[in-house]
Each structure stands twice: as structure tokens, then as C-alpha cells.
Amino acid sequence: MNAPTVKEPEPKTSGPGRLEKVPTGIQGLDEITRGGLPRGRTTLICGGPGCGKTLMALEFLVHGATRFGEPGAFITFEETAGELATNGASLGFDLAALEADRKLAIDYVRIERSEIEESGEYDLEGLFIRIGFAIDSIGARRVAIDTLEVLFAGLPNPGILRTELRRLFRWLKEKGLTAIVTAERGDNGLTRHGFEEYISDCVITLDHRVSDQISTRRLRVLKYRGSVHDTDEVPFLIDEGGLSVLPISSLGLDHQALTSRVSTGIPDLDAMLGGGGFYRGGTVLVSGGAGSGKTSLAATFARRACREGKRCLFFTFEESSSQVVRNMRSIGIDLAPLMEQDLLRFHASRPSTGGLEVHLARMHRLVADFEPEVVIIDPMTNLLTVGTASELRSMLTRVIDFFKDRQVTALLTSLTAATLPSQETSDTHISWLVDTWILVREIESDGERNRGLYILKSRGMAHSNQVREFRLTDQGIELIDVYLGTDGVLVGAAREARMIRDEAEAREREYEAQQRQRRMVQRRAAVRAQIDALTAELEAEEEELRRAAEREHNSEGGKARDEARMAASRWVDQSFADDNQGRTVQP
Amino acid sequence: MTRDQEPIEKADDSAGTESQRMELRLYVAGQTSRSLAAIDNLRRICEKNLKGRYTIEVIDLMQAPQLARTDQIVAIPTLVKKLPPPLRRIIGDLSNSERVLIGLDIRPVDSTGADHES
């Protein structure tokens, strides 16, 4: 595209001071123009056919009429009032009602070249009268003229047309109208008929490019006299909500980091993340091979968020929403009631429905509309089919910045090639963007495949370094401690088998211990019996001894008594006997 | 014609037959020299070539601006041949008689005043 040749136009009509701006009401456009289009000036919108010029002009007027209290006149050269009404209806605008309310005046200017003959000098006073009439009939503050090129095709003598158009733009300015004039893109200049020579306050170019069979609309504010504006090309979308422009490059790294957490919906995973779950406003990447349970993990998280009353927006690039709902029901996660409560919304589309920027634009738009606290993109790697890795990275950078700016917690899933020796490598190009990176890894052994889950990184939290077995049950997701033993990490049936074996061994060991215990008891009993026997024996001996001693004692005392008795019997007198008792009787 | 005049001025010469009558409308905007020139030029051409077989309405859009929309007028002056069909428009001050006649699909009358059409 050649640089447009822009000449100094008429002197500015407005007084000193800051340039006053008129909001267009078009999402994003007011941001990149820092407030809208210049008030009382004419803005040129140029672009190729079908790039959205008419819709932009129409939206400018409709928003003006409905939201900003500025009625508008639409002068169309290309579409009949009926066609315009149909176009408006496709964006949800009821043009007939606006006309009836005197908020919008539409004049369809039809110029049929075959009917027209030229004879002598003419001017476009008829057009001026019509525009003036349309404006005066409703007190219009905004005007859109779409597309003036038709004049050149329908009327002879371009010299007169140029002079008249110059007069027209000056006239619009004098009337203080904020106007949009659309023009076809030219081969050698910005516009086919060089309108940029007359309109130079604000020039916006629209573009509709197709690369790899995927079209992307882009907008650029080429010129905005007296105002700061973004000069980058930005993608824009046209959908049932109208036009939306994405100020994708305007975000920086100044978002607030939140310390509050959002639960993952899996208590064990919350515990692995140091308790509590992900950081609110954080970005989580879940990587894994096909069928590794990424979507289930995402759905569990979504359900948990919705149950806490948070809105959740689920972008799915692989399955339809009903398919996701059905599949999740099989693992005991019923998403349907959450959708009925409008807490959960799905947006299912094939990646090939648009370029990366279209997807980005769509995400912006849907997030801005629904204002979710949680966004899921499943799987973001599917977008690689419409862009290269570096384009995807650039897109994700912008979308993640956008999410962070809005404090949206985002969970992206990434399909990694399970055949790669190291699954992690394929995601490293975006890993620096995410705060928490969870890997669901296939562990293949003993003829079966199991899932191991671990946290590769999680910024700002003390997280577990453990590998857990990740199981999908009909009650949802379960995290089980894997078997760590001499044979390494065992999962699945191997873990079960190992555990059975371990249990048998344990039982065996326990039995042995019990046996030993019993033997000990017996031994103790035996020893005790022996002790008792010995004690009894000892006691018997002691008794014997005591008896013997007693006997001895008794025998000595008896001898004296016997002697006395014998003495008495021998009639020994008492004194003798008493003396005898005091001294040893000498036999 | 002054501003106080009726916007529609009819010049009706009913001498000709109805079938050959040509209905013309000339749209002007105010009393500009170009408007006046167009009116003069049109009258002269019609008198010369369509004597007795034409009707001219002059419409001043300054006074009836809504007609610009209903009659699809962009350029001023515009001469519209309403009848007989097909509808034709001739824009400009009508200073080029030849092009006006082509536009109106009329064979010019020679200087003697003989009507080649009859």
C-alpha cells in the first residue's frame, strides 16, 4: 500500500482546546482511538469490498441514536433501504423502529448511469439538499455516507464531482456534524478517487485478508489529527453482536497479582498445590496426551467454580458442548444444571472457523459479554492448525494478558504428542506464560496404560513434587498415591498386583510374629511352671529343715524334763531338786 | 421566477396530440444563474423541437426539498423526462442542445421548422 498523499485541508472550524471526541460505541474502537471519532469532523473509512465499511458506518449511527442521544442520517448509495434493514437486522438493529422514533433517517440515493445524459455544467446541490433534509428532519448529529464512489460511476465529469465533494466535506464540517464517509480502496492510493485528499482528520482502513484459506479482518487507524491513537493493525470481528475491535497490543504487565485461591475441584490436587488450589487470576496449563483426562480435569474445575457461584466460559475446539456434557456425565460430572443456571457457557467451534485473531477476537468479545471468572480453553493446541507456534504464542500472550487484566482464572489444555520421549518439550514455548503447569503423563507398563499426574511448576506456592496416579472413576477424578518401591513407580494393575503381593507378605509376616508371640507365651508359661516347681521343692526342703531343728530343740528340753521327772520319781527333795536344777548334775 | 412563486410552474401548450405529449420536469435549486440558464435553454429547445407537444414542470428543491429524495435527484439542474417511457435524466444547464435532444430521444428539427418526426 502506498503512503497516502494528504494535503492540508480547510482550516479547522472548531475553537481552541482539546479535540472533542464522539464515541462510536463499537467495542474496542473507542479504546484504540482514545475516545472515538473527532467531533464535528469527517472520518474516512476505506477498504476493499466486503470488509465491513457499511456495517461500521451503520453501527456508528445506531449506537449514536440508541446510546448517546445523537440521531443520525444514513445516506446510502449502494444498498436500498430494504437491504439495509436486512443488514441491520443481522446485527440485531431494528432500523425501521429507529426511523419511526425519528432517531435515524435513511436516504437511499440511486444513480442509474444508463438513464443519465449530461448537458452542460451541473453541481450536486440535489445531494446537499437531500442530506440537509435528512439531517433536519430528525435533528441529526451524526451522518454516514456510504459509498461516494458510486457518484463517480454514475455521473460524468469527475472534475465537477471532486469540486463538489470538497464542498460537501466542508459543508458537513460547517454544520458541525460528525460524519463517516466510506470509500473503496484504490490500487494506487488509499482510495480509488483520492478522497484522502479532502478528508484528513481521521482515516481508518479496513482490510480483509485471507491466508491459508482463513480470512481475518483487520483495522488500522491510519491517521488521527490532533490525537494519540494506536497505529497497529488490529483484528476485528463481525458477528451477531456487531463489530468488535480488539485493542490487543494495549495491555502490559501491570495487572494485580491476587493471593486468593480457587479450588481445582479435586481436594487432593488442591493439597498438592499447597492447599487451596490455583491462584485466582492465574493461568493454568494442563498438558497431556490424547485421552489423558485433560478435559475431565478442566470440567471438574469448571463445575467447582460454578458451584461456588462463579461464571465459567468453556471454549472447546474439539467437541460440541453436548458431547462434553455427555462425556463428563459418564464420570459423574453433570454440567447440564450449571448451564441451565447460566453459570456455565460453552463456546464450541472448530479452529478452522477463523484465523487466530478471529478466535482471539471472539474470546475477547465473549469474555467481555459474559464476564466469567473462569475461562477454559480446551485444547488450545488445536489452534495450531490455523497458525504457527509463534503466532499461537503471540495470540496466547495477548489473551492471557487480557484474562489477567480481568482477573479471570484461565485453564488451558495442551495436547502433547505422547510418542515424544519428553512430552514437556512441546509445551515449553508457552510454559513461561503460565503460572501453574500440570502434566498428565501416560505411564505404560505391563501391557496397560495409566495416568500419572504431577505439577511441573506452580509459581508462588509450595507445591508437591509427587507423582500421583490419576484415575477417572464414575465419581469423578481421583488421585491415588502411586506405589513407590524397589521396582520404581508402579501404577494401575501393576500397583494392584504389587499391593496384593505386599498384603500377602504382610499377612505372612504377621502370622510369623504371632507365632513367635505364642511361643514366647508358652515358654514363659513353661519357665514359670519350672520356677514354681523349684520354689515348691525349695519350700519343701525348708520345711524339712525347720522340722528337724524343731525336733532337735524339743529333744534337749525333754531331756531336762525327763531328768526332773526321773529325779522326782527317785524322791529327790525339792531343794535338792531345785539345786539340781541350778547346777549341772554330776551323774 | 422569484422565491415567492409556487415551486411548481406549469407551462402547458396543449396544441399537440396527447399520444405525442412529452412530460418534462426540471429540478433546480434556487435562483442561481445556472438554474435560470437551464430553464431558458429547456424552453428554447422545446419550443423549437416539440412545439405544442410538451409539458414542463419546474421544481425548486429549495422550497420542496423532500422531492429530491422521492424523485432521486442528486445533480442540479436535472431534467427528467417522465413520459413517454423510458425515464431519462439529463443533468447540467442544458447548454448543449444536441445532448439534450439525444437524452430526450428527439430528432432535431432543422432551421426551417419542419418536423421530421411527423
Angle at the Cα of A71 from the Cα atoms of A142 and A171, rounded to 5 degrees? 35
A57 and A163, same structural domain? yes
Taking an 8 Å cut-off on Cβ atoms, the answer to whether B76 and A130 are in contact is: no
The pLDDT of residue B14: 45
Residue A4 lies in a domain: no
Residue A175 and residue A277 share a domain: no
In tens, the pLDDT along A220-279 reads: 888 888 887 777 788 788 877 788 887 655 455 667 777 888 898 888 888 888 888 888
Q: Per the CB < 8 Å rule, is A127 touching B74? A: yes
CB contact under 8 A, B92 and A121: yes
Strand partners, A217: A208, A236
pLDDT reported for residue A387: 77
Query: Largest Cα–Cα distance in chain A?
Result: 202
Which residue of chain A comes nearest to B97, CA vs CA? A119
Decide if pLDDT at A524 tops 90. yes
Residues of chain B whose beta carbon is less than 8 angstroms from a beta carbon of chain A are: 27, 29, 34, 37-38, 41, 61-62, 65-66, 68-69, 72-78, 86-97, 99-100, 102-103
Q: Is A472 part of any domain? A: yes
CATH of the domain at B45: 3.40.30.10
Nearest to B68 among A116, A119, A129 (CB): A129
Question: Which tens digits make up the pLDDT trace of A561-578?
Answer: 777 777 777 776 655 555
A462 and A498 housed in the same domain: no
What is the least distance, in Å, from the CA of A188 to any CA of chain B?
28
Domain ranges, residue A577:
487-587
Chain-chain contact of A115 with B89 (C-beta, under 8 angstroms): yes
Residue pair A454/A465 in contact by the 8 Å Cβ criterion: yes
Do residues B22 and B84 lie in contact, with contact meaning Cβ atoms separated by under 8 Å? yes
Residue B99 lies inside a defined structural domain of this protein: yes
Torsion sign across C-alpha atoms A484, A490, A494, A495: positive
Shared domain check, A35 and A51: yes
If asked whether residues A240 and A265 sit together in one domain, one would say no
Could you say which of B27, B34, B74 has the minimum Cβ distance to residue A124?
A: B74
**B40, B91, B95: which to substitute to probe chain A, counting the most A Cβ within 10 Å?**
B91
**Measured between alpha carbons, how far is A13 from A70 in angstroms, rounded to an integer?**
20
Q: How long, in residues, is chain A?
A: 587
Backbone angles phi, psi at A127, to 5 degrees: -65, -40
Q: How many domains does chain B contain in total?
A: 1
Given a contact cutoff of 8 angstroms between Cβ atoms, the answer to whether A206 and A217 are in contact is yes
pLDDT band for A378, please (50, 70, 90 cuts). Answer: confident
Q: What is the CATH number of the domain that holds A51?
A: 3.40.50.300
CB contacts under 8 A, A 92-121 vs B, are 107, 109-111, 115-121
- Of the candidates A117, A130, A155, which has its C-beta nearest B68's C-beta? A130
Which chain A residues contact residue B29 at CB under 8 A? 125-126, 129
User: Is B112 a domain residue?
Assistant: no
Report chain A residues whose CB lies below 8 A from the CB of B95. 119-121
Residues of B in contact with A132 (CB under 8 A): 65
Can you tell me the distance from the alpha carbon of A454 to that of A331, in angstroms, rounded to the nearest whole number?
21
Q: Are residues A98 and A219 in the same domain?
A: yes
Domain containing B15 equals 8-104
- Which regions of A341-498 does DSSP assign to beta strands (E)? 344-348, 374-378, 409-415, 436-445, 448-458, 468-473, 476-481, 483-485, 488-490
- The answer to whether the Cβ–Cβ distance between A120 and B96 falls below 8 Å is yes
Residues whose CB falls within 8 Å of the CB of residue A482, separated by 6 or more in sequence, listed in order: A452, A466, A467, A468, A469, A489, A490, A491, A495
- Let me know if residue A132 belongs to a domain: yes
pLDDT above 90: percentage of residues in chain B: 4
> Is A503 found in the same domain as A455?
no
Cβ separation of B96 and A119 shorter than 8 Å? yes
Q: What is the mean pLDDT of chain A?
A: 82
Cβ contact A132–B66 (<8 Å): no
Contact A232, A40 (CB under 8 A): no
DSSP A74-116: EEESSS-HHHHHHHHHHTT--HHHHHHTTSEEEEE----GGGE
> In this structure, what C-alpha cell is assigned to residue A247?
485493542
How many structural domains does chain A have? 3
Q: Looking at the structure, tell me whether residues A306 and A362 fall in a common domain.
A: yes
Q: How confident is the model over A391-413, as pLDDT tens digits?
A: 788 788 888 888 888 889 999 98
| Separation between Cα atoms, residue B100 and residue A66, nearest integer Å | 47
Q: Say whether both A144 and A27 belong to one domain.
A: yes
The last residue of one of the domains, among A481, A510, A525, is A481
Distance between CA atoms of A33 and A231, rounded to whole angstroms?
Answer: 9
When comparing pLDDT for B110 and A431, which is higher? A431
Residue A252 lies in a domain: no
Q: Chain B contact for A168, CB < 8 A?
A: no
Q: What is the mean pLDDT of residues A327-349?
A: 90
From CA A469, how far away is CA A286, in angstroms rounded?
15
What is the distance in angstroms between the Cα of A207 and the nearest Cα belonging to chain B?
A: 30
B84 in a domain, yes or no?
yes
The 3-class secondary structure across A478-501, one letter per residue, is EEEECEEECCEEECHHHHHHHHHH
Query: What pLDDT, on the 0 to 100 scale, is given for residue A306?
Result: 92
pLDDT tens-digit map of A107-154: 998 888 888 888 888 888 999 999 999 999 999 899 999 888 888 888
Interface size A-B, in CB pairs within 8 Å, comes to 100
| Closest Cα in chain B to A120 | B92
Contact A181, A142 (CB under 8 A): no
The reply to whether A10 falls in a domain is no
Angle CA(A263)–CA(A417)–CA(A457) in degrees, nearest 5?
A: 35
For residue A529, what pLDDT band results from cuts at 50, 70 and 90? Answer: very high
Does the pLDDT value for residue B2 go beyond 70?
no
Residue A545, in any domain of the structure? yes
Q: Phi/psi at A266 (nearest 5 deg)?
A: -120, 110
> Is the residue at A11 inside a domain?
no
| Chain-centroid distance, C-alpha A147 | 43
Helices (H), A257-355: 267-272, 294-307, 321-329, 336-340
State residue A252's pLDDT score: 58
